[in-house]
Structure 1
């Protein structure tokens, strides 16, 4: 670069995909050249010592983090369960949905059966469930997550090799057959309203969508988040057959399962919003700026105008995202790939020794490349190069 351009850098056009190392199938158009792309000006070289102050100072955070209308100090654990599963705004709750849809599916299944039921079929003994029984059922399902046994039947076994591991509370609350009958018909949504695969509006998560909607709303309304937030991906381990199942070889805990994108409070890990990744074939709305951009803007949309600070990794961060979040009073800091569209061109070739750093600024965005055990590149609209 010539001497006259030492303090000016230009945008990297970008040629790298928006797919993280652990996100096969997350295709994007974020780093592709687009007709009519408008430049936001050059990247200006700035000092990296204590003397430099960002010209744009972040606004004060305007929300006090705290639970909203939480249960009394003397509340029971079940009261906290209800606190997050009852959506007062929409007059619905998780238990009522499970009861109505489980009863509906049981009726549909039994009535549609063209063949006589086997003599010992549990369906002969089906009776509709109710709220009290469903709460007990959910409680036992949660207990199974804490007490691991090889089969469902083993929770009711009282003899043989499992005698010492007997769990008497299970048989005191449910007979085994009744528990398995409810499990057989357990449903969250009406199958008749599902849009066929390949049709406009198809939702791979249709079967659990009502529960997702309730929890996302209650998680948001029952707790005011602190300033610092983060978006990341999570896996719910599952090896069964379903079109939501993803394979992510980089994950140590679960390599197979349903992938979630989560907006959480950085300090506590409190989950505020969850988005189910339904696969590239099911995405109806084209991610013009990439899937990472769409995930972050959708998850953070309810928190605009409060001056939150959102921390991201390089699967999501880009100059376009930083700029657009900033316009909605959401500050952003995150690692970023040097080949992202709009990054300083010099960052692609500049090498920094351990402990050294170089910085560029474009409007409210600060880009910094830092030498640690390996080179790390950041973008921020919240902090300067210090």
Structure 2
């Protein structure tokens, strides 16, 4: 019986000596083995698996492993975080803690149950492993990092190691995301840069632990709305979409509330999502060498450490505003504003789907109110240093200013807007 995990063996005497453990496990194969006794070596001798079970901890550096007796030798089992694949086995002799982590929770529970039986001297109802060195191939199956930088090294006939946490597949001429990658549930970093990917499958959102996604230098033209609504909203922190052909990002893109780094350099962006102010954790934003003509009003709500908008074709503010104001407001407009202002829950199971879309894409006035179809739109100049500590010059004249599109709910709000934005 074997368990693939990370293991750290530390002495229980360290605290009394004023020492600390390094607190980091290494990839290991922990085996529940049969340790033969003297009588069991004789022909016809009866074996007692439970009485002779031992624990063998093997690593890449020590494939022979270190053996620990189990019968009446477990002082305590710490299983509070077993559902997260973590547990600690405290032995009496030698006085050590064997800390297990990054294990499959189901396998870990079965392994701990077998250890309890071995500790009591009972027969273990699972075949025990033999006391043999672990092969290198066993560790290869469970490695956590893989780097592929050429097409000839790309695996075509075998699957990716299931326990991968970091995967880079660059310069492989991939035309689409390999569906085998979507089964790597432990992935935290996925690098698919320098390929030929034209679209992202919505199922990439099933990688619930993904924190960093690099799609630099591909052929993406759009960013799918279903992907914006996936579980990546809660995990994705770093996103690189530079050197693609993206013309616009959907307003739902701003649901990636955990984003801290966003790279949009060298695309064909005409505008940024007008709800970009919802990216409250964003600290690094780079959208250089695009076709941006202005910025949305909610841009002023960002709090950035670094901002790069160099090489965009920003236009001068329009003198006359665009008026789409309906007086009095329609009942639909008034109800929509009320639902958003009072944060009333809504969904396609409550109201028609097209109304959900209107509420999702509602504009925000500079006064803080919401507007759907009735508004006045104007443009003003904004000093980018008000939202970022470091600003790469917007134009060759050394100016760090850009035009900002603002939406105004009423004519009275429009008259006073210049004071609010400057």
Tell whether the structures are fold-level matches, with TM greater than 0.5.
no
Larger radius of gyration: 2
Length-normalised TM-score, structure 1: 0.27
- Structure whose residues are more often strand by fraction: 2
Q: Normalising by structure 2, report the TM-score.
A: 0.25
More helix by share: 1
